[in-house]
Amino acid sequence: MKLKIAKMFCGLPRYVVVIIFAVVSLTPLIWVWSSALKTHMEIFINPFAPPSKLHIDNLTKAWNVGRFSKYTLNSVIITVPTAAGVIFLSSLAGYAFGKLQFYGRDILFYVSLFGLTLPFQAVMIPLYYLMLDIGIISTYPAVILPAIGFGLPFGTFMMRAFFKSIPTEVMDAARVDGCSDLQIFLKIMLPLALPAISTLAVLQSLWTWNELLIPLLFLQREELHPLTLGLMFFQGRYTQDYGLIFAGATIMSLPIVGFYLLLHRHFIKGITAGTIK
């Protein structure tokens, strides 16, 4: 008994440290969410107290008057095709680089890694004038296509690693059974790659959802703005109305945090794999 208590005390500072940092990470976010439910006066008078009663006016006002319904829809319209495009194209390339033999394969793979860390700034100027010239600036594809292009290096890298880990015997067996090369890919390899595909889907959706610079350049019409731009300009318009700004921040962050809590294993696995494996 004595030993147990002594052990508990030894462990105590450790728990103090990990809990302090958990509070540091969590508090600002919870604070923004709860302030979205306060009246304007309450935010100033009692900044730290929880809301006295649930006051949803800010949220409804941001959603309707602040056009957050529109921004949310735009974010979805941009994110879904981008993630789908990255998954589809990266699976093709990742499979080719990981499992097929062809001339120049390794060099081409290194070429595709070149974009892995390339800053978007290195391409944005010619891309801007290209979009202007071909007349697709301020349309959804003007954001979706470059976002797919910039998602491909990571996606290809990740899918290649996964396909490489599948034993080649699986392919040989399928070939013996009379599968064509396309059938092997579609019917055998893709279903096996589902875990990697879902991790990629989660990460790519997150990145596209939060993307600021690409839509800032290529979507100049307000009615096409995704949440990032919507919230940024909204903050500029209503600088003093903190309740409303917090409501906007809540609309943007609550779904993504919920999504994260539901699928945190995928997020963590994908980020770890992308960095050190």
Partner 1 sequence: MTRSRYWRNNLIGYSFIFFPFLVYVIFVLYPVFGTLQLSFTNWDGFERVKHFVGMANYVRMWKDPFFLKSLYHNLIWILIGTSLPIVIGLPLAVILWSGVKGFQVFRTIYFMPLVLSSVVVGIIWGWIYNPVFGIANEFLRMIGLNSLTRAWLGDTSTALPALIIAAAWQYYGFCVIIFLAGLQNVDISLIDAAKIDGANSLQRFFYVIVPQMRNVLTMIILYTLIGGFKVFDLVFVTTRGGPAGATELLATYLFKQAFQINYVGYAAAIAIVLAFFVIVVSVLFIRLRERIA
Candidates 12, 21, 50, 172; binder of partner 1 (CB under 8 A) is 21
Determine, following the binding rule CB under 8 A, whether residue 232 of this chain makes contact with partner 1: yes
The number of CA neighbours under 13 Å toward the Cβ of 167 is: 4
Contacts of 71 (CB under 8 A, 6+ apart): 225, 226, 227, 229, 230, 231
Determine, following the binding rule CB under 8 A, whether residue 240 of this chain makes contact with partner 1: no
DSSP-based three-state secondary structure for 17: helix
Nearer of residues 28 and 195 to partner 1, judged by Cβ: 28
Determine, following the binding rule CB under 8 A, whether residue 60 of this chain makes contact with partner 1: no
Candidates 84, 130, 136, 166; binder of partner 1 (CB under 8 A) is 130
CA angle 96, 101, 105 (to 5 degrees): 65
Candidates 59, 87, 127, 143; binder of partner 1 (CB under 8 A) is 127
Q: Cβ 237 to partner 1, closest distance in Å?
A: 13
Determine, following the binding rule CB under 8 A, whether residue 277 of this chain makes contact with partner 1: yes
Return the residue matching tokens 């409303």. 244
Determine, following the binding rule CB under 8 A, whether residue 100 of this chain makes contact with partner 1: yes
Is residue 82 classed exposed, middle or buried when 0-12, 13-18 and 19+ CB atoms within 10 A define those classes? buried
Q: By the 8 A CB rule, do 209 and 259 touch?
A: no
Determine, following the binding rule CB under 8 A, whether residue 126 of this chain makes contact with partner 1: yes
Candidates 76, 77, 84, 113; binder of partner 1 (CB under 8 A) is 113
- Stretch in the footprint of partner 1 (CB under 8 A) among 14-22, 52-60, 169-177, 191-199: 14-22
Nearer of residues 168 and 275 to partner 1, judged by Cβ: 275
C-alpha to C-alpha distances, 223 to 67, 87, 114, 207, 212, nearest whole angstrom: 9, 28, 35, 21, 16
Tell which positions 179-198 bind partner 1, by CB under 8 A.
Answer: 181, 185
**How many residues can be counted in the chain?**
277
Report the alpha-carbon distance of residue 82 to residue 205 in Å, rounded: 8
Determine, following the binding rule CB under 8 A, whether residue 51 of this chain makes contact with partner 1: no
Q: Cβ 134 to partner 1, closest distance in Å?
A: 11
Q: By the 8 A CB rule, do 86 and 155 touch?
A: yes
- Residues touching partner 1, count (CB under 8 A): 90
